[in-house]
Amino acid sequence: MATVAPPIAAVQAFGDLPVSRRGEALFHPLRAGVVSPEDLRDAVEIVPRVRGRKDFLRLLDAVAAGAESWLEAEGMRRVFNTTEFAQLLPQHVLDVDGVRYRADLYDTNTRTVIELDGSQFHDSSPRRVRDLRRDAALASIGILTIRLSYRDVVERPEWCRRTVRAALDARAKRP
């Protein structure tokens, strides 16, 4: 039986999957540690024809900028892609009493975390409880968490921008 290396398989799967599922062909093997972004970039150059090649390379660019999921890549591309949000740090690590938390986006000036919550990783009860405890721990040191749903990021990008902008403005003005 002929087999291919995981990066080549990921590239081929990306093109073969329905558009709605393509992101996982890239992000799942990255999360699992089976491939690296460099492996995927090399593989897409080796495979002569990939359906959705432009989208694949766009997602790889988002990974290089700090995205760890399709939703984070979409947030970077469609919501927080303006200069007013350029100060947001992706995947910023925060320490609260020896516990490390990684924020999807963090504004150091206002001490605000923005989380982009897809149902795959945030809807189950144990994960929801973990998120609530994390938000409480961050609040205990003065950090506000804003959670934006998958639906809001994908369907209401302007609302997300307005909401985050208003929160950042309000926190910047406080003493």
Mark whether 88 and 153 lie in a shared domain.
yes
Host domain of residue 106: 76-173
Nearest to 71 by CA among 59, 55, 57: 59
Mark whether 53 and 114 lie in a shared domain.
no
Mark whether 97 and 23 lie in a shared domain.
no
Q: Which amino acid is at 79?
A: V
* The pLDDT of residue 128: 82
Mark whether 123 and 44 lie in a shared domain.
no
* The pLDDT of residue 119: 59
Q: Give the count of domains, the chain.
A: 2
Q: What is the pLDDT of residues 12-25, one digit of tens each?
A: 999 899 988 888 88
Tell me: pLDDT of 123 over 70. no
Residue pointed to by tokens 């909401």: 163
Query: What is the rounded distance in angstroms from the CA atom of residue 61 to the CA atom of residue 144?
Result: 28
Mark whether 153 and 82 lie in a shared domain.
yes
Which residues, other chains included, contact 98 with Cβ-Cβ below 8 Å and sequence gap of 6+? none
Mark whether 157 and 121 lie in a shared domain.
yes
Mark whether 81 and 58 lie in a shared domain.
no
Mark whether 103 and 51 lie in a shared domain.
no
Query: What is the rounded distance in angstroms from the CA atom of residue 38 to the CA atom of residue 99?
Result: 30
CATH number at residue 164: 3.40.960.10
Supply the pTM of this predicted model: 0.84
